[in-house]
Amino acid sequence: MISMNKNVSLVAGGAGFIGSHLCRALLEQGHDVICLDNLQTAREVNLEMLEGHRAFSFIRADIVDPLPDAVTRRRDITRIYNLACAASPPQYQADPEHTMLTSVVGTDRLLRLAEQNDARFLLTSTSEVYGDPEAHPQREDYRGWVNCTGPRACYDEGKRAAEAIAFDFARLGRADVRVARIFNTYGPNMHPDDGRVISNFVCQALSGKDITIYGDGSQTRSFCYVSDMVDGLMRLMESDVADLQPINLGNPEEYSMMEVLELVRAQTGTRSRVIRKPLPIDDPRRRRPDIKRARTLLDWEPRVSLAEGLAITCAFFEKELFSQMPDYAFDGAIAGAASTASAGLAAE
């Protein structure tokens, strides 16, 4: 049951990978939390750690459709986080029309809800708005190099349109808006089959399957552990940033795909062979955030190294695979390493 005497946060996409961690962090800070999710790409298991909490409620709904009465009739919502959208290429390309509508129509519906409640609104945009960037690292004032008719456009252009709507609401004084451009994020609660590089490499390595490298493996990404990302989102929501500019959130340490593969190999001890496939259409060659604005305005930067985060993530996926594959040889070695890493992070 949601109480009426504290911040009430609505998290659209709250059953997803990042969303479920955000819901938990908000609960730990004393917020009442309404999780709104259609479970299209999220997993209900992500909600198990939240169910039963007196300040948590779940509503199954799609923000492409009119918002349910259980949400629109409320007048006590103080924070709205919009994380609702399939976020990995295989997921968002599976239903490109729905992906575009989620970003555009769904964002409009949530902005109107924010206006109605006089609530703060935070849109999680994406580094994909920069496309295959010609500028490196990517600053918030870089306008991007996006193929507006390619197979990734449903997501890239959908998020660019969502930013436009959000900032138009802000310019008109209709909503108190913040926009985060999220760079690659990883950690527990990721879907094993979501198609992201970390989940692909780790699950393939742990299960003994061939590890897939696209192109020559020289393309780069930066990887932000989920707890750092959630911290950044919450800092941005509670900040007084009001200059109608997005803020990059991500880890500025840059790794090639081959470097990530070697880290995963070292962490898992895999003997899987590597196979190569053609680079997907419009796949960015380089990706690294410039986070000067986040450092200056939010006093934020990532704390968890890729090695530390991978240890915890590998342990999570090992347990996932063990539960799904009875013959899988789970010896606890990775979990032990992850426990040590988790203890070190908790001590900071």
Each residue of 62-119: pLDDT tens digit? 999 999 999 999 999 999 999 999 988 889 999 999 999 999 999 999 999 999 999 9
Confidence of residue 325 (pLDDT cuts 50, 70, 90): low
pLDDT > 70: what percent of the chain?
91
Is 333 a residue whose pLDDT tops 50?
no
Give Dmax over CA atoms of the chain in angstroms. Answer: 59
- Give rounded-to-5 percent helix, strand, coil for the chain: 40, 15, 40
On average, the pLDDT of the chain sits at 91
The pLDDT, as a whole number, for residue 324 is: 64
The pLDDT, as a whole number, for residue 270 is: 93
The pLDDT, as a whole number, for residue 152 is: 94
The pLDDT, as a whole number, for residue 337 is: 45
Helices 197-207 and 257-268, interaxial angle, to 10°?
40
Q: Look at the block and give the residue holding tokens 């690659």.
A: 184
The catalytic residue positions are 155
Q: Are strands 32-37 and 224-225 parallel, antiparallel or unpaired?
A: unpaired
Q: Is 267 exposed, middle or buried (0-12, 13-18, 19+ CB in 10 A)?
A: buried
The CA distance from 304 to 227, in Å, is: 8
Is 335 a residue whose pLDDT tops 50?
no
Confidence of residue 193 (pLDDT cuts 50, 70, 90): confident
* pTM of the model as a whole: 0.91
Q: Look at the block and give the residue holding tokens 């190999």.
A: 265
The pLDDT, as a whole number, for residue 347 is: 33
The pLDDT, as a whole number, for residue 90 is: 87
The H or E element containing residue 178 is: strand 176-182
The CA distance from 29 to 19, in Å, is: 15
The pLDDT, as a whole number, for residue 198 is: 96
Asked if the bond preceding 137 is cis, omega within 30° of 0, the reply is yes
The pLDDT, as a whole number, for residue 322 is: 77
The pLDDT, as a whole number, for residue 2 is: 40
User: What is the rounded average pLDDT of the residues 205-227?
Assistant: 95
Helices 153-171 and 107-117, interaxial angle, to 10°?
20
User: What is the rounded average pLDDT of the residues 341-347?
Assistant: 42
